Structure 1
Amino acid sequence: MTYAFPTARLLVFAKAPIPGQVKTRLAGRLGARGAARLYQQLLRRTLRIARAARLCPVELWCAPDTRHGFFNACRRRYGVRLRPQGAGDLGQRMNRALNRTLADGHPVVLIGGDCVSLGAAELRAAVERLVAGRAAVLGPAMDGGYVLVGLSRPCPAIFRGIAWGQGTVLAATRRRLARTGVDWSELPLGWDVDTPADLRRLRRSMPGISGQR
């Protein structure tokens, strides 16, 4: 496949879609199996968009490891490379994945598999800015976190001591970037699917993705 930015990399972080372990806040509406099914639908959408955009090679970084059958199905269907996230909290795992990719000489964008507001245009904007020399790119989220982080050089400070899963993640990350003198850029505000309110919004905007069979 020919890519617009062959030296860059797009990393998609994902968990094994085990009922009761993914999208747990939606289990009350969908049941544990329905929530896991929704997670698979969202991840497939993300990989489909990432592949069709042909921006750069795409890697699926898997937790707890790459052995789940769904990950291998994604590898075959979307042509992605599977990588294990390894141990640690979310910040440690993201920092590790980004640093390994940067060490190989690639500007890198990292996203989750469930952010429905990210399309090809947003992914392209992030990669373009990094390739042009911007040190970091953030995709802020409506819940106070972020849906995308991209780096063209290591920045470990933004992953340490962060209260992951809280509404303070974005603000804390901005403070770390400013404190360390990193020149960063931000994409338009996005959203992902974590709560029943998010699910209602998803069903209005993308009725084909609902967690149903």
Structure 2
Amino acid sequence: MNATHALNATYIVIAKEPVPGRVKTRLTPPYTPEEAAGLAEAALTDTLATVASIPDADRVLALAGTPGPWLAPGFRVLPQRGGGLDERLAAAFDDAFAGRPLVLIGMDTPQVTAALLRQAADALRTHDAVFGPAADGGFWLLGLTRPDAALLRGVPMSRPGTGQAQLDRLRGAGLSVASLPVLTDVDTAADAERVAAAAPGGLFAATLRERRAVRT
């Protein structure tokens, strides 16, 4: 791996402010809206900490809402723009672009590692795009050498076929695409258990254990 190239990428985290009733609503039930928001905040905190651990990276948080104490230092905070998720993703790539390759992830995979993110950035040395498929049929990471809204706008989001539709859009545009391992997004309580098991030392896993302890 060429570490220098990887570290010169712009890493974007696209996220919502963890407000009860607005985030992780599929965790309710069994969790209350407040508990679901707490888990979302823990997932976001872990994700930001992982990105922050990559030295000399350009770090961007594309945020719907207001920054809170969970915000790690060293991030440029940009407001999300657009209506649907496809438009907001396209805008995040456009707004964050600073002449470097772009690697975008969400707040739903707190098990992500710095090594995986560096692998994604390094893949952009030899590919036009990099794609991280999610277990639910979506995607957890998308990397591009440069922004192009046409690669995202109109792709149906939050559906079982979203990942394949996005991949088809990239390949249909003639891009070479590198692939990363499949990861699980935190959407349901079962997902949360799987993700916590994959990263038992993180804040997300600790928060989930606390929620379990309260219920027993």
TM-score w.r.t. length of structure 2: 0.86
Conserved 8 A contact 1:37-1:211: no
Residue equivalent to 2:57: 56
Shift of 1:203: 4.1
Q: What is the correspondence of 1:8-23 to structure 2 with a 5 Å cutoff?
A: 8-23=9-24
Q: What is the correspondence of 1:103-122 to structure 2 with a 5 Å cutoff?
A: 104-122=98-116
The aligned amino acid for 1:128 is D
Shift of 1:160: 2.2
Q: What is the correspondence of 1:1-213 to structure 2 with a 5 Å cutoff?
A: 4-5=4-5, 7-54=8-55, 56-63=57-64, 65=65, 68=66, 71-75=67-71, 77-102=72-97, 104-130=98-124, 132-205=125-198, 206=200, 207-210=205-208, 212=210
CA distance in 2: counterparts of 1:109 and 1:208, whole angstroms: 27
Aligned length: 203
Conserved 8 A contact 1:59-1:82: yes
SS at match of 1:11: strand
The aligned amino acid for 2:155 is I
SS at match of 2:28: helix
Conserved 8 A contact 2:82-2:91: no
CA distance in 2: counterparts of 1:133 and 1:169, whole angstroms: 25
CA distance in 1: counterparts of 2:187 and 2:42, whole angstroms: 14
Conserved 8 A contact 2:131-2:167: no
CA distance in 2: counterparts of 1:72 and 1:197, whole angstroms: 27
Are the structure 2 counterparts of residues 79 and 211 from structure 1 closer, same or farther at C-alpha, using a change threshold of 3 Å? farther
Moved more, 8-17 or 78-87: 78-87
SS at match of 2:29: helix
Are the structure 2 counterparts of residues 46 and 61 from structure 1 closer, same or farther at C-alpha, using a change threshold of 3 Å? same
Conserved 8 A contact 1:202-1:210: no
Runs of at least 5 residues in structure 1 that lack an aligned partner in the other structure = none
CA distance in 2: counterparts of 1:146 and 1:55, whole angstroms: 26
CA distance in 2: counterparts of 1:18 and 1:203, whole angstroms: 21
Shift of 1:133: 4.0
The aligned amino acid for 1:18 is V
